[in-house]
Structures are given as structure tokens and as C-alpha cells.
Amino acid sequence: MNMLKQVPTDPVTCGIRNRFSLLIAFLVAMLVTAAVYQTRDSVVSSDDLTTEENSADSAQENSTDSSQQHCDYFSGKWVFDNQSHPLYKGPNCSFMFEEFACEKYGRKDLEYENWRWQPDHCDLPRFDALKLLEKLRGKRVVFIGDSLNRNQWFSLTCMLDSAITPTLRTFSYKGTLIVFNAIEYNATLEFYWAPHLVESNNDDPRNHTNFNERIVRVESIEKHGRHWIDADILVFSSYLWWRWPRIQVLWGSFNSSDGIFKEVPVPRCYEMALQTWSNWLEIHINHSRTRIFFTSMSPTHQWAEEWGGPEGGTCLGETEPLTKEGYWGRGSHKDMMRSVEEALEQLQKRGVNVQILNITQLSEYRREGHPMIYRKFWNPEYRRNPIRHSDCTHWCLPGVPDTWNEILYAYLVGS
């Protein structure tokens, strides 16, 4: 811009009648203009159009990283790519969780491992386990939520595992925590079970009530929060355990006799829980130290009719992703997604940045990525009625959650 202004005041063109000089000046001006427009074009085409910050100014000599930050990773399509994916072999992952180990439990069609997510306006950086470990050196990462969040945690653990010498990592269960440690890097990756984020009567990872007996202490989160107050990176997710019409809310403590119980519609209760969570984050987390992420709801594929499959069918037997653009199943409640977005907007106004990992849409396409009957079932009865008990909720590993983590990687390493 400055250069354009300078051209007419350049001493060469001032007061000289020579037509040749004027012509040269004109040509120079044209060239400069063209150059400026070209730079702008390339910035606009390589950057995400939906963000405000595509200014051509800046000392961004090396602009790869910053354009990664601005890209909308969440709209795009799945591309079959058996060269780059899977990122690891399932049987090679030392700490694979039995509920996600589809290959081990007999799944034969393994193409679901080969799909790569291609965002519309940019590329995801190629996952490099060593680069991520370097980034996590001396850091503590905690995933907090339900079994889908655990699915994402195991995925990331497997993604890192292959890059670490077996003797230089540890893995352990410590109460409500699962802890993975990369010793050489002093990097800790933990999963903390808290399916409602706030306190509930299902905070034991192994002993759960029926859905109609669920109680949440919607205003209490301290009991959980003190376990991850000093983490460097927090990844939250909570949705599945809220997919019922109503839930019991408790004011007071579980073992006191003067507690007040009230049945509350779940969407309202979800908002209250997010409010408690937000307040806790605002007050207790050091925002210059801790980066916070929230993974949006993970879709289920329980009802085949939704994508034109047989009535009464489930995801069982599906071998290919859905291709209908914008496909959205009825298990993913947009209004509850909106509640999360509102909570995050409010937090931003209060100076707390939470990056959403908006993985719902991209995962909606992946009806074939679930364990179905190819996993360990704790209840042997389930095997006798495979259709009814197909797991169309969690995800096989390697698989869809690896992509969620590739996006997380883009945010962590790209910055």
C-alpha cells in the first residue's frame, strides 16, 4: 500500500515532462499494483475465508503455521488414502483398550482405518509423534469426560506409543485416572473419568447406575477439578451421558440427609453443568499456562433407517462412510451443541479461551467406524444378540478419533 502512494511523489516523475519517464512510472505503478493484488490473492486462497484476519500485512515470512491456526478444519471430506493411514497398527499399540480393538476381536474389513480427513480450504499437518512429544516435554495433558473422551485419549496414546522405546514409557490405572508417561520427555497424558463433568453418582469408572437412577450434583465440580487444576493442556468432552429426557439434580451432598432432589429436563441441566464448569475454569485455571479444548459430541449410528439402511438395522455390517454432504443423525442434538457454543462464547468474554474441536459433522459420515460386535463385551449376554447390542457409539482404533487428534495436533504443534 505504501509503495503505491510513493510512486507519484517519486522525484523521478515530479516535474519531468518526458513522456518516456511517465510511461515508465506508469508501468512501475502497474507492476506494484499487480504484485499487491497477487499477494492478496494467494493469501485469500490459502487461508480460511471465514476468519477476519486474512490481512496481507504482517511479518509472516513463514506463514504455514498461522494459516493452520485460521483454517476451518471441520468442513471437508473423507478421502480413501491407504498410504498415509492408519497412523499405527492396532495390534502394535501396547495399551490398546479392549473395547476399541476391532481387529483383535475379529473385524476383517479394515478399510475404515484408511480414510483421511481432508479439510476444504487447507491441509492438516502430517502427524509427527516426535514433534508432539517435544511440544509436550515437561507437560501434563489431561482428558476429562466419558468413554468417548477415553476413546480419544487411547487414540492419542496409540499415536504416540509407536514412537517411544517400550522401556521409556509407563501406563497405569490410578483410581479415576489412567496415566501414560513418556519418561524421556517427562510428558504425562492422563484420562480422568467424569462423564457429567460435574459430580454424579457415576463417578466410579467401573460401577454405574441405570440411566433412570442417575443423579448429578450440578453445582459441584471441585472434587474432580482438583485432580487437573495444574495441567498444561485440558481436553474436555461430555455429551453421551446427557442423552435422556430428564435427570435427578441434587443440591447438598450425597451422604447427607438434608439434600434436595429435583428432576430437571436434561438440556437445562446440561446448561447448568456447563455453567458450573465455566465458573470453575475462570477462577481456578491459570490462563497463561493452560490451553483448553472441548471436543464436541460424538455421533452414534444406532438406527440404520436414518441413512436409508434396513429397518431395525444398526451400524453392523456397514463398510463405507456416508457421502451425503451434511448428513446428520438424530442422536446428535444441535440444541445441546449450541449450549456448549454459548458457554464457550461467554467464557471468551470473561477472558478464557476454549478451542472447540468440532468433530461432530466429520464423524457423522463414519457409520462404518464403530466396533459393532468386534470388541470385548463385559456382559457375555451381548454376544447372543449382536444386532441389539452392536456398539455403534464408540470407535475402532485406529480410526475416527485419530482424526480428532490430528486436529488437536494442528492446534498444539501448529502454534
Q: Which residues bind ligand NAG (CB under 6 A)?
A: 62, 64, 74, 82, 88-89, 92, 138-140, 162, 186, 188, 207, 253, 255-256, 286, 288-289, 341, 356, 358, 360-361
Residue 179 belongs to what H/E stretch? strand 177-182
63 part of the active site: no
**What are the angstrom distances between the C-alpha of 346 and each of 243, 275, 282?**
24, 10, 11
Radius of gyration of the chain (CA): 26
Residue 23 belongs to what H/E stretch? helix 19-46
Least distance from ligand NAG to the Cβ atom of residue 139, Å: 6
Least distance from ligand NAG to the Cβ atom of residue 182, Å: 11
Beta bridge partners of 169: 182
Closer of 151 and 295 to ligand NAG (Cβ): 295
Closer of 74 and 382 to ligand NAG (Cβ): 74
Of 176, 139, 132, 174, give the one whose Cα is nearest residue 155.
132
Residues 6 or more apart whose CB falls under 8 angstroms from that of 43 comprise 54, 56, 63
Closer of 7 and 135 to ligand NAG (Cβ): 135
Closer of 207 and 323 to ligand NAG (Cβ): 207
Least distance from ligand NAG to the Cβ atom of residue 284, Å: 11
Least distance from ligand NAG to the Cβ atom of residue 44, Å: 18
**Cα–Cα distance, 194 to 192 (Å, whole number):** 6
Closer of 224 and 313 to ligand NAG (Cβ): 224
Set 48, 146, 391, 402: catalytic member: 391
DSSP E strands, 94-176: 115-119, 140-145, 169-174
Least distance from ligand NAG to the Cβ atom of residue 283, Å: 12
Query: Measured in Å, how far apart are the chain's first and last C-alpha atoms?
Result: 28
Asked if omega into 86 is within 30° of 0 (cis), the reply is: yes
**Cα–Cα distance, 92 to 94 (Å, whole number):** 6
Closer of 207 and 379 to ligand NAG (Cβ): 207
Count the neighbouring beta carbons within 10 Å of the beta carbon of residue 210. Answer: 6
Supply the angle between the helices 266-284 and 334-349 in degrees, to the nearest 10: 20
Set 67, 147, 296, 298: catalytic member: 147
> Cα-Cα-Cα-Cα dihedral of 390, 394, 398, 399, to 10°?
100
Closer of 50 and 55 to ligand NAG (Cβ): 50
**Cα–Cα distance, 54 to 183 (Å, whole number):** 41
CA angle 221, 400, 393 (to 5 degrees): 60
Set 155, 196, 394, 402: catalytic member: 394
238 part of the active site: no
Least distance from ligand NAG to the Cβ atom of residue 315, Å: 21
**Cα–Cα distance, 163 to 369 (Å, whole number):** 25
Least distance from ligand NAG to the Cβ atom of residue 73, Å: 10
- Residues tagged active-site: 147, 391, 394
